[in-house]
Structure 1
Amino acid sequence: MWFSIVMAALFAATINKQAYSTLLARPARQTGVFACALCLALLWQIKAGILEHLNIHILGLTAVTLIMGWRLACLSGLMASLLLISFTKMSFEQLPEFLTLSVFIPIYISYGLYLLCYKFLPRHFFVYIFVCAFLCAGAVGATKILISGGYYYLSGLYDLTTLKENYIFYAVIMWFPEAMLNGMSITLLITYRPHWVKTFYDQEYLNK
């Protein structure tokens, strides 16, 4: 029950009249939201895990957050989750937990790290790629596993030894592929389609 409340609160915080008005007025932006949702849904199907709930997969949410902004990234994540419910074995009852732990919290962390980078680091093309996209994505992927592992332990679903050996251990392994996929995606976009990336400002990152 409390997962539903947290999920609703996290998504409610993203609702903004200006953001959604702009979305409705710009078909290209709508296409971006749908495209990101589809890519996420397909990406999340590539997963591995031995025990129930302890699935490992690449999130891809740092790249989506940088491309769409945190508000629309949450919308894309919600749509991707609904696609999983419609076309996979994922049930509607699993939605609050999945959205909270695997979608909204990683997006909030991704955007928070981006803001810290924007404020405290030089606004340079390579800083954006290697820190905002590459390093932050890896940190978000590892943090998601640690947070989920902490929840499963505190809820009594698994003991600490089982979590260490079958889940938390993979935070180290998944760091690099998460960082690589997000970093490569952002690199390609800001090289060939920089106007598609909402958080990338040409006048600040290229005029250096």
Structure 2
Amino acid sequence: MFTAAVFAATLNRHTYQTLLKRPARQTGVFACALCLALIWQIQAGILEHLNIHILGITAATLVMGWRLAALCALLASLLLLYFTDLPVNQLAEFLLFSALIPIYLSYALYLLCYQFLPRHFFVYIFVCAFLCAGFVGAAKILISGGYFYLLGLYDLPTLLDNYMFYSVIIWFPEAMLNGMVITLLITYRPHWVKTFYDQEYLNK
């Protein structure tokens, strides 16, 4: 129920009406969902629930906006549910920690950067995309680890040794992937990136 409520907060009539009228945007949503599904199925884990994988969600949020990024994540999760061994009873948990919470974090960090930092091309790449993505990737592991601890699934030493420790390692590949994707897109297809404004970031 909590996951459904968090996703419902992303719903907006105008956003979806606009999406239905723009076939190119629909293609973008499905392409983004497919890319996320492909990335998410490459994961490692020793114990049940404690899976580690690249999120790619910060780039999706910057490109699609937070509302459509949530839709992309839902579609990607459903693809994983159908084509992989993702259990049905873990779908809500997976969607919440791998997508919805990282989307909210990514967009909140973007808004902070937009408000308080210079609106410059390199600020957008290195802070909004690279650093924020690394932070979100590490935060996902720490937040979900805390959730599993509160549920009593694992004790703290097990989580620290087999899961939370990897937040130190995952931040760089997460940051690198998202940073590279955003750099390529705003260099060759800046009009595809919803949160990138040419007049503000390039006219400096």
Offset from partner CA, 1:46-99 (integer Å, 9 cap, x none): 111111111110000000000000000000000000000110111222111111
Counterpart for residue 39 of structure 1: 35
Between the aligned partners of 1:157 and 1:91, the Cα distance in structure 2 is 17
Superposed counterparts of 1:24-173, under 5 Å:
24-173=20-169
The aligned length equals 204
TM-score normalised by the chain length of structure 1? 0.97
In structure 2, distance between residues paired with 1:195 and 1:206: 13
* Alpha-carbon distance in 1 for matches of 2:45, 2:23: 38
Amino acid at match of 1:111: Y
Gap runs ≥5 in structure 2 = none
Is 9-18 or 177-186 further displaced after alignment?
Answer: 9-18
Counterpart residue number, 1:175: 171
Query: What residue ranges of structure 1 are gaps of 5+ in the alignment?
Result: none
Q: SS of 2:163's equivalent?
A: helix
Secondary structure at the aligned position of 1:200 is classed as: coil
Equivalent residue runs for 1:11-22 within 5 Å:
11-22=7-18
TM-score normalised by the chain length of structure 2: 0.99
Calculate percent identity across the aligned residue pairs.
78
- The CA distance in 2 between the partners of 1:199 and 1:82, in whole Å, is 26
> Within 1, Cα distance between the matches of 2:125 and 2:97?
25
1:11-54 deviation line (CA, Å, top 9, x unaligned) = 11111111111100001100110000000000011111111111
CA–CA separation in structure 2 for the residues paired with 1:102 and 1:109: 11
Instruction: Tell me the CA shift for residue 179 of structure 1.
Output: 0.1
